[in-house]
Amino acid sequence: MKIRASEKTLGAYVEEADLTDLSDAEWKELKKAFLEYAVLVLPEVFLTTSQQERFSERFGKLDILTGNPLIKSLYVCNVNESGEVLPMDDENFRIVRGNEYWHTDSSYMRISAKVSCLSALTLPDSGGETQWADMRAAYDELDQETRNRIEHLSAYHSFYFSQETLGQRVEVGSKYGFHRDGAPLRTLVKVHSETGRPALYIGRHAYRIPGLLDQDARELLSYLMDFACKPPRVFEHKWNLGDFVMWDNRCVLHRVRPYDYSQPRIMRHTRVKGDEQTEGAPMTKSEQPPYGLSAPE
Ligand code: OGA
Ligand code: MN
């Protein structure tokens, strides 16, 4: 297997690896590269659904995002079940467009994601690149004053909040498994359970910091996001059909770039659940959301 680092602080390309038939030594090598680069791209490997699912399961238990335990892959796409491109005002389309803003997967769930994997099944002619930003390198580059300021701070993460900022009311307890139990509270600095490296843990779902006025919390979060998601900490992948990418949600943010929304874009997503001990978060019911929705029951 050949592993070639990108020129950024994260991201590497893996060639000549058969993900469907890895020896123990190869898996060890791949896992080591994954922990080092946080994003691995395997060009044009054309995994089948079950091959992708089986490979993803090497990292841990899959998060069921479809509501059906037998269906482990989620199609992140702008088409309906008949393959027709969704209109701009479609509710699901607006949820998919939320992916255009820097985030880490499932940070609004009680247990956030460990790893996510994507395969490119259908692509628009242009645009639709995916970018990842390195929150370890971002933390390393923070000045001491900022580090001291955020050291003991935590933020609530909410999907209702992040969609509301895009003008979409998401019904509490509606599909996608959004919790009814309140919002998880997560430290702004996350120490990686496998590498021990600290990383900023932020993204578009983070919205309120206990001990700070909401206005100050928003300013701090947006300052950190702007600072963090800058070169050389941003790795971009321009997709070809059959490409497969895996990333570490514990230490990177990601987003998709705009594309021609009249053309179909279909990605197969598998998500590995985080570990209870390190990705589980306390849930708070009592916080009144600041964004117009009543608190989840
Ligand atoms: C995701 C996601 C980005 C993309 O699948 O979690 O954010 O490029 N996707 O589709
Ligand atoms: Mn995502």
Write the pLDDT tens digit of every residue in 75-125. 999 999 999 999 998 988 999 999 999 999 999 999 999 999 999 999 999
* Ligand 2 centroid from CA 270, angstroms: 11
User: Is the Cβ atom of 63 under 6 angstroms away from ligand 1?
Assistant: no
With residue 138 as reference, give the H or E element that holds it: helix 135-141
If one counts every other C-beta atom within 10 angstroms of the C-beta of residue 67, the result is 9
User: Which DSSP state fits 257?
Assistant: P
Residue nearest to atom 7 of ligand 1 (CA): 99
pLDDT for res 291: 43
Q: How far is the CA of 212 from the centre of ligand 1 (A)?
A: 31
Helices (H) and strands (E) in the chain, counts: 8, 16
Task: Check residue 144 and give its pLDDT.
Answer: 98
Residue 84: phi, psi to the nearest 5?
-85, 140
Of 78, 79, 91, the C-alpha closest to 168 is 91
Q: What is the pLDDT, as a whole number, of residue 167? A: 81
User: pTM of the full predicted structure?
Assistant: 0.94
Whose CA is closest to 114, among 283, 269, 247? 247
List strands edge to edge, sheet with 130-134: 234-237, 130-134, 252-256
Q: Which atom of ligand 1 is nearest to the CA of 256?
A: 8
CB 101 within 8 A of CB 162: yes
DSSP code of 177?
T
Going by C-beta distance under 8 Å and a sequence separation of 6 or more, which residues neighbour residue 31? none
**Which structure tokens are listed for 132?**
């990842």
Residues of the chain with pLDDT under 70: 171-181, 285-297
